Structure 1
Amino acid sequence: MTKRIFRSIMLVSAVCMVTGLAFLMGVLYHFFGNQLEKELKAEASYLELAVEENGESVLEKLPKNSARVTWIAEDGTVIFDNKADAFDMSNHNDREEIKDAQKNGAGTSVRQSDTLGEKTVYYAKRLSDNSILRISSDQYTVIALLKQLILPAVCVLVLMILLGAFFASRLSKHIVTPLNELDLEHPDEVDTYDEMAPFITKINKQKKTIQKQLSDAKRQQKEFQIITKQMQEGLLVIDTQTDLLSSNASALELLDAGQVKDKESVLSLNRSEAFEKTIDKVLRGEHVESVLNLRERYCQVCANPVFDKETIAGAVILLIDVTEKMQRDSLRREFTANVSHELKTPLTSISGFAEIIQSGFVKQEDVRKFAGKIFDETQRLVTLVDDIIKISQLDENCQPYQREKVDIYNLAKDVLSRLQESANKAQVQLNMEGEHAELETVLPILDEIVSNLCDNAIKYNKKGGSVTVTVLNTRNQICLSVRDTGIGITAAEKSRVFERFYRVDKSHSKEIGGTGLGLSIVKHGAAYLGAKVELESTIDKGSTFRLIWQK
């Protein structure tokens, strides 16, 4: 507003200055023109007397800077001219001022010079002998005067502009200051121009209305945020242009999106083709349900259109994290397939041996041998079923055991003593290191974990190798590590060794034995006991498994 007032004042000032200057130039030009004509008449009167008495000699004595004087005979011949050679000058009877002087006794004329931008004023007076005495003087035109005065005029104009700008700035600020100092928080207490009173009253009413509307909107928004914030499901509200109107933290977290800008398209949160198709369909008025694959997570999308009468006004999108459900379904299918395969092999062997015995083709001395085979396969089935039951119990978190104080060092030492015979057969040396550390835990589960780790370290070791169990008790944590010098595990297999029925060395799985559930039991058992499992391994150098409890 200050700038607008400033520009208005400057514009008015400029128009006034230009108009005033033009008017002044016109008045002065007219005044000086009349003054010049009066001066020429006076000079002509003086010269008339002198010429009448003394003749041409008076004219010859005129100073060089005097006005131009021409003496013309009755027939128009130039007798004398103080600015030119009289003999070279043409007859002047055709001149307007000469004609008027011969007829009326005196005559005046003005002739313009287009090249010089000047005009010449001529005054002629008839003498007693009917000769004509003419005096002329040059007068600048307005354009010529402007050319002569351009530099001082510019200087004056600049000075006037600067002064005008200074005063216009001060005046505009002075006018606007009361408006800028309006206290819109308390408009009823404002003391300003009387003309502003209706405006202030209207502002006061609107302010109260807006405050009430804002208060209601904030209350509703707060209630909505409280409700949506507590939701584990993600919630998105969009308009027909896909612009995001509302969202909760769960939705942004599920879509792995950062801070959302105002009026940002919902498609910027996830650019997958499935999500785009879902948004496109729901904005066409369809109810849509789909599943998005978000890197390592799965998200179920339920989108419903919102109608205003019969027109689509937008859509509400509900996001549900179904990663665990999808993973469980996948694990269940994989587990079922693996269990079926693992159970089928020993059952097939048992069935085959029993069928051979039943057929009577087996010699009496070989019955015992076949019975041993059946027994071994049955034990394998029993072990497999036991491991499956343990995995199921850990999955369902339904262990029938109580927590108790356990010395981990002593527990590991007992496990190694039980596996000593297996280690001797595999020609592997067992070592126990570290210190005593007590922990409140579930003894059977911890015993099973340590046994599986040590048993694997023996099975997948090399002849002449070693297995070292170390217990460390520090201020912040308790760590039990099982280090072997075996075949090692590749980087690609590290993330899979804890999967059910996964074996690192499949070529020796028959020789090594086992169910393939050992490390899976370790993983689930450690999670149940609140321990963290770490694995370090180098091919052909060995592996180290660590169980870490934070104090």
Structure 2
Amino acid sequence: MAILYQHFGKQINTELGKEASYLAYGVEQNGVDYLNQIKEKDDRITYIAEDGTVLYDNQADASSMENNSDRKEIQEALKSGSGRAERDSKTLSQKTIYYALRLSDNTVLRVSSTQFSVWVLLMEMVPPMIGIAVVMLILAGLVSMHMANKIVEPINNVDLEHPEENQIYEEVGPLLSKIYKQNRQIRSQLEAARRNQEEFTIITENMQEGLLVIDSYTMILSGNSSAWKMFQMQKPRIGECVYSLNRGEEFRLMIEQVLRGEHGSVRLHLGGEVIQMIANPVTREQRVEGAVLLLINETEKVEREQLRREFSANVSHELMTPLTAVSGFAEIIRNGMVRQEDVQKFAGRIYDEAQRLIALIEDTIRVSQLDEGETPYDWEELDVCQVVRDVCGRLKEIADKKNVHFYIDGDKTMLYSVRPILDEIIYNLCDNGIKYNKEDGTVSIHLRDLGEQVEIRVKDNGIGIPPEDQKRVFERFYRVDKSHSKEIGGTGLGLSIVKHGVGFLGGTLDLASEIDKGSEITMTFPKERKTV
């Protein structure tokens, strides 16, 4: 801008000199009339007398203008023939350049032109310069984006899964080589982790015990299907709080204890089952990071323990009763407190109690043999209908005393079984049907050939079994009505022998009963013996 400004200033001076020369020639030839004919008013033309009086001005009234004899360019022109001057206008931010030429009659012809300051020119150029700059920036951005995309395109298209197969810039080679080595290491580690995870999953998913892993914030990190089943959860609860599984106080206190770094165990009751939970903390650098919870279903163990205690109590009670009677009667006879004619009566009582004791011991032994799968009998082809008829024949006298009638529904039905066990099963069911029946009741035995199976159904219309006792009637020595057990008689092992006998023969057992409507027991046996 500075160079152009100086250049334009010199050019204006040169043009003003030429213009003044042309005008001077016309004025000397034609006078002021020549100036009046000029229509262009871009430059200011002033014609001044020798004493400084303005004779003509193309942009102002000459008569009202002040004397110009003191002007620098006029004085120089009168002395040397031409003069130049420059004057700045502070208000208009422009500069006026004057060129004066003396004529032959000592008058002066002055031509002037204005030139804006460099700042004004610069301000006038700012808008187009800004526009040009914006366009240049946009073009530069577009070009740079295009060039950058071209440069990074090969890098963006690098196959990081197979970096060794990429052919791009030589400078990127070391990086790709390192990525390749890292990929191999990562794949190896992932494969090892996957195998470990699969092995862990296989082990935990095949565990009957439940397994849970929690962090120090009680969040569940891992668990197997057995754990979800024990807590009766339909789907895994990974990532949830362990308290969402159980909100019992015992469970909560055990979680708090193990997260304090203390081992412990607690017995939980979940949905009717007894679960033993063993909790062990997981520590790292003497800091508790979480815990491992092992859940063991001890329902069967607790039930067996309960049954063992009940069995011990029952068998002791059942044995004690006849033994007490035998001991008492014998003691009375020994002390001579019985008349001679009553000795036979007391001996008969001792014999009855001894027989009851023998029957109890025989039934206990029989149940134990069936439970262990040991019997001295052979398997053979049997006609179930004939076995049923034989049993009913042996029980007819007892049934007649209570006026209970037998009905047999079925014909010859062959079954490969063990006669004494099958006989004992049917006998006990029919005997119970008589004992727990009403006066003038019925016991019906239905036989059905199902092709590969035989169904035996024993039904009575007696007193029935309450729903709460139906699950326990097959336990040893369990009696529904203990107050009438002595009146009814028996050892309390009849249905237990039935259950173990059906199991020994490979059959299934189902009980249906209603109070005052009777009971129905359905047994299904395979026609052929299933051997392992």
Residues 224, 139 of structure 1: alpha-carbon distance in 2 compared, 3 angstrom cutoff: closer
Task: Give the C-alpha shift of residue 469 in structure 1.
Answer: 0.9
Task: After TM superposition, give the deviation of residue 470 of structure 1 in Å.
Answer: 0.8
Amino acid at match of 2:505: L
Contact (CA 8 Å) 2:275, 2:295: kept in 1 or not?
Answer: yes
Q: List gaps (5 residues or longer) in structure 1.
A: 1-26, 94-98, 113-119
Task: Give the 3 Å change call, closer, same or farther, for CA 131–478 of structure 1 in structure 2.
Answer: same
Matched, 1:446 2:422: yes
Instruction: Output the TM-score relative to the length of structure 2.
Output: 0.67
The equivalent residue for 1:471 is: 447
Match of 1:192 among 168, 177, 189: 168
Structure-2 change in CA distance of 1:216 and 1:183 (3 Å): closer
**Which piece of structure 1 moves more, 454-463 or 370-379?**
370-379
Aligned-residue Cα RMSD (Å) equals 5.7
Shift of 1:392: 2.3
TM-score of the superposition, structure 1-length normalised? Answer: 0.65
Is the Cα–Cα contact under 8 Å of residues 121 and 139 in structure 1 kept in the other structure? Answer: no
What is the DSSP-based 3-state SS (H/G/I as helix, E as strand, rest coil) of the residue aligned with 1:326? helix
Q: CA deviation at 1:332?
A: 1.0
Structure 1 residue 547 displacement after superposition: 0.8
Structure 1 partner of 2:372: 396
SS in 2 for 1:389: helix
What is the letter of the counterpart of residue 518 of structure 1?
Answer: G
Q: 2:153 aligns with which of 171, 174, 177?
A: 174
Cα deviation, residue 172, structure 1: 7.5
Q: Indicate whether 1:461 and 2:440 are aligned.
A: no
The one of 375, 388, 399 equivalent to 1:412 is 388
Q: Give the CA deviation at 1:518.
A: 1.8
What residue identity is the alignment partner of 2:166?
V
1:419 is paired with a residue whose SS is helix
Contact 2:406/2:442 (<8 A) preserved = yes
Distance 1:472 1:31 in 2: 125
CA deviation vs aligned residue, 1:298-337 (integer Å, no higher than 9, x gap): 5556666677787778777766555444332221111111
Asked if 2 retains the 8 angstrom alpha-carbon contact of 1:299 and 1:320, the reply is: yes
| Other-structure match for 2:463 | 487
- The match for 1:540 is 516
Report Cα offsets for 1:82-126 as digits up to 9, x if no partner. Answer: 9xxx9xxxx999xxxxx99999855455769xxxxxxx8686879
- 1:433 offset after TM fit, Å? 0.8
Code of the residue aligned with 2:465 in structure 1: it is: I
Shift in Å, 1:431: 0.7
Does 1:514 find its partner at 2:490? yes
Kindly state the Cα deviation for residue 198 of structure 1 after the two structures are TM-superposed.
1.0
Matches within 5 A, 1:317-328: 322-328=298-304
Q: CA deviation at 1:420?
A: 1.9
Matched pairs, number: 491
CA distance in 2, matches of 1:161, 1:526: 95
Q: Which residue pairs with 2:503 in the alignment?
A: 527
Confirm whether residue 344 of structure 1 aligns to residue 320 of structure 2.
Answer: yes
Seen in structure 2, the aligned counterparts of structure 1 residues 361 and 54 have a Cα distance that, compared at 3 Å, is farther
Deviations 1:364-390 (A, max 9, x none): 555544444444333332322222222
Which residue of structure 1 aligns with residue 361 of structure 2?
385
Residue 18 (structure 1) aligns with: none
Name the SS of the counterpart of 1:431 in structure 2.
strand
The sequence identity of aligned pairs, in percent, is: 42
- Between the aligned partners of 2:478 and 2:458, the Cα distance in structure 1 is 20
Q: Secondary structure at the match of 2:457?
A: strand
Counterpart code for 1:201: S
Distance 1:133-1:436 versus aligned 2 partners, 3 A rule: same
The DSSP-based 3-state class of the residue aligned with 2:464 is coil
Structure 1 residues 377 and 142: CA distance shift in structure 2, 3 A? farther
Deviates more, 1:133-142 or 1:391-400: 133-142
**C-alpha contact 2:222 2:238 (8 A) present in aligned 1:** no
* Cα separation, 1, equivalents of 2:109 and 2:298: 131
| Pairwise CA distance, 1:408 | 2.2
Alpha-carbon distance change, 364 to 204 in structure 1, aligned in 2, over 3 angstroms: same
Name stretches of at least 5 consecutive residues in structure 2 with no aligned partner: 47-51, 76-83, 101-107, 528-532
3-state SS, counterpart of residue 463 of structure 2: coil
Q: CA separation in 2, counterparts of 1:165 and 1:542?
A: 97
